[in-house]
């Protein structure tokens, strides 16, 4: 079968190999594909592998040979699922490949806000330690996590992994989950959303984006938070009203934010968070450790193999 990987650079910028995929299909790999190039590049493909390239109703209607779309991600909003279903196109994603990497990144962002490692390391390179009258110095508050409350929005695989790390740091954990299951989690402290905002020293988002939770972090809820609190987002950018968060940071309504995702990616140059006070932003890399990408590639190959064998897995209904 003929397959096209339309944006392979995201998954494999050169440190992995596509050989396992090429062993099972006639595979053409493109590092990047623009919307204008998508139809021409995929016109003969029965299998398409995509990460962020969009396959909407119009594009799907222009690809009559297409039978399978493999998404090299967990999220699947780049595909018009109903249009794919109407055309008999199977769509599979890859769940759970980056759980520990994202949980790790959550704490990388949080620890930067607590210890300001990057800032202080740069200050040493600038000569401030060499010029110091004392054996040590710090010019930003240093925060210990033990005893603080970590509030989690969402309690799937990543939320649970983050909770375990928080507990290892000696933090208390509270959780907001719309469909909580007390029976399966008898020791978990579930609270309502507004209570979570009010009680948390660290609020960390680990939920999918839906119509009901878009901009759930907004001026009203930020006003409920402690002035010493941090907001962490490794989930989806639109969960946050970015202007409201920037206002809260610049007015010291909360102490800081660590963000790996924004509402528009790459970041819009006029995004107010780019210049907000005590806001650490990374370019959507929580998922991208080499180990996670190796798992992602292996699972994508497994999805294609299963489809060819007539027994598809990880199918999005």
Percent of the chain clearing pLDDT 70 (strictly above): 98
d(CA 57, CA 38): 13
Q: Which of 32, 167, 265, 290 is catalytic?
A: 265
Q: Which residue has the higher pLDDT, 5 or 186?
A: 5
Confidence of residue 107 (pLDDT cuts 50, 70, 90): very high
How far apart are the C-alpha atoms of 160 and 168, rounded to whole Å?
12
pLDDT in tens, 174-223: 999 887 666 667 778 999 999 999 999 999 999 989 999 999 999 999 99
pLDDT at 182: 62
* Domain enclosing residue 37, as ranges: 2-96+290-308
Average pLDDT taken over every residue of the chain: 96
Cα 34 from Cα 11, distance rounded (Å)? 17
In a domain, residue 317? The reply is no
Give me the mean pLDDT over the 309-317 stretch: 96
Residues 160 and 268 in one domain: yes
- Convert the pLDDT of each residue in 234-247 to its tens digit: 999 999 999 999 99
Place 260 in a pLDDT band, splitting at 50, 70 and 90. very high
26 & 13 share domain = yes
The reply to whether 125 and 167 lie within a common domain is yes
Question: Are residues 197 and 254 in contact, defined by beta-carbon separation less than 8 angstroms?
Answer: no
Task: Kindly report, residue by residue over 37-48, the tens digit of the pLDDT.
Answer: 999 999 999 999
Q: Could you report the per-residue pLDDT of 276-312, keeping only the tens digit for each?
A: 999 999 999 999 999 999 999 999 999 999 999 999 9
pLDDT at residue 233 in the model: 98
The reply to whether 316 falls in a domain is: no
- Is 116 a known active-site residue? no
89 in any annotated domain: yes
Q: Are residues 147 and 262 in the same domain?
A: yes
Nearest to 221 by CA among 176, 269, 162, 159: 176
The whole-angstrom distance between residue 287's C-alpha and the CA centroid of its chain comes to 6
In the prediction, which pLDDT does 181 show?
67
Asked about 265 being catalytic, the answer comes back as yes
What is the pTM assigned to this prediction? 0.93
User: In this predicted structure, what is the pLDDT of residue 178?
Assistant: 83
For the chain, the domain total comes to 2
Q: Encode 83-116: b = buried (16+ Cβ within 10 Å), e = exposed.
A: bbeeeebbbbbbeebbbbbbbbbbbbbbebbbbb
| CATH number for the domain that contains residue 50 | 3.40.50.720
How many CB atoms within 10 Å of residue 175? 21
User: What pLDDT, on a 0 to 100 scale, did the predictor assign at position 179?
Assistant: 78
Task: Give yes or no: residues 56 and 130 share one domain.
Answer: no
For the question of residue 284 being annotated catalytic, the response is: yes
In a shared domain, residues 241 and 185: yes
> If we measure between CA atoms, which residue out of 258, 248, 283 comes closest to residue 10?
283
- Would residue 34 count as lying in a domain? yes
Catalytic one of 116, 206, 221, 236:
236
């Amino acid at each position: 079968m003929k397959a096209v990987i339309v944006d392979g650079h995201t998954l494999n910028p050169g440190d992995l190999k596509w050989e396992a995929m090429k062993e099972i299909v006639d595979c053409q790999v493109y590092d990047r594909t623009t919307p204008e190039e998508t139809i021409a590049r995929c016109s003969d493909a029965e299998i398409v592998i995509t990460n962020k390239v969009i396959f909407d109703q119009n594009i799907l209607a222009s690809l009559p040979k297409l039978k399978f779309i493999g998404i090299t991600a967990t999220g699947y909003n780049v595909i018009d699922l109903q249009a794919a279903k109407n055309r008999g196109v199977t769509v599979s994603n890859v769940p759970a490949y980056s759980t520990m990497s994202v949980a790790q990144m959550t704490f990388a962002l949080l620890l930067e806000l607590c210890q300001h490692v990057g800032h202080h390391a740069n200050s040493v390179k600038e000569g401030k330690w060499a010029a110091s009258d004392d054996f040590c110095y710090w010019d930003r508050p240093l925060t210990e996590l033990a005893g603080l409350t970590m509030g989690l929005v969402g309690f799937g695989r990543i939320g649970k992994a983050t909770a375990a790390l928080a507990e290892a740091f000696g933090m208390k954990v509270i959780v907001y989950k719309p469909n909580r299951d007390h029976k399966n989690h008898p020791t978990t402290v579930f609270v309502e959303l507004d209570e979570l905002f009010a009680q948390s020293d660290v609020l960390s988002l680990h939920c999918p984006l839906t119509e009901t939770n878009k901009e759930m972090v907004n001026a009203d809820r930020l006003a409920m938070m402690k002035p010493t609190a941090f907001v962490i987002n490794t989930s989806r950018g639109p969960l946050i009203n970015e202007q409201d968060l920037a206002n809260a940071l610049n007015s010291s309504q909360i102490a800081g934010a660590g963000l790996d995702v924004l509402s528009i990616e790459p970041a819009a140059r006029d995004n107010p968070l780019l210049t907000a006070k005590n806001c650490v932003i990374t370019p959507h890399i929580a998922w991208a450790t080499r180990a996670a990408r190796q798992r992602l590639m292996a699972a994508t190959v497994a999805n294609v193999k299963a489809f060819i064998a007539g027994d598809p897995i990880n199918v999005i209904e």
